[in-house]
Structure 1
Amino acid sequence: MGALVSISRLFRTPAFPKGSGPDFVNAVCALRTDWQAAEILARLHVIEAEAGRERHGRWQARTLDLDLIALGDEVWPDLEGQKDWMALDPARQRVEAPDRLILPHPRLQDRAFVLIPLADICPAWRHPVTGATVPDMIAALPEADKEAIWPV
């Protein structure tokens, strides 16, 4: 069973990647659950499908995008696998997707649209691979990325 612990404010954010569609509304929530990661992800995909989401390709326009960003301090599939996906060249990121769940999300530290809402509810969370806190990761982002995020 799962229970909502907290949810961030809603934020207007540019589509990712740039130019792939209209702006999004992003938020982050924290759950307390005994579900396994695969079950959480499967339930998120069901919600997306019920909202009309169709998966046609990587980073395509979408009606709803729900992601499992982290599961506490767990690292999946393992430390080396995590580091490989974190270091993936940006050109390859556009065409390559993992064939399994990678946790925490390998681009978490690069995405203002995740980190700024995350700071609302879990500012003390530390990335289990890098050790960086949410404010540390936000500080490392380009100013233009941060300035493009607005509370709704």
Structure 2
Amino acid sequence: MPGRRARHNGLVPAHPPRLDPAIAGRLKRDAAGLFPAVAQQYDTGEVLMVGWMDDEALRRTLTTGRATYWSRSRREYWVKGDTSGNLQLVHSVSLDCDGDTVLVQVDQLGPACHTGSRTCFDGRTLPVTVVDPLRARDARHADVAEPVRGAQL
């Protein structure tokens, strides 16, 4: 089989693996070829983090069972847990209805956030005006539902 010389093992395939064209054709990417990937704990639904992927990161995630992302700051691929030990073992990957975001359901071993928090969203709740769902339902034909100031749902 023809191949090119490589330093690590002598031969590499002439055509490196690529993301399945049927999947690639469904993706919408930004100008840099990236799309967001939301990591969620598979059994609790807890949102852990948001990372960025390109076609190659998604291919690696789908074929290795380990969540792989593209680091925009370091400009390289990173497999969650390779340096920290806080692995993300993939259970499923879903494409959203617009094709511009993937949901990666994982079993997170250890903290997901680089700060050491369980999720990247721990302790970062912002103040928000929340619409009371009962009032909103009753007022669905009104112009504006009445907000409940300072409410926490």
Normalised to the residue count of structure 1, the TM-score between the two structures is 0.24
Structure that is richer in strand per residue? 2
Normalised to the residue count of structure 2, the TM-score between the two structures is 0.23
Higher RCO (CA-CA < 8 Å; seq separation 6+): 1
Larger Rg: 2
Structure that is richer in helix per residue? 1
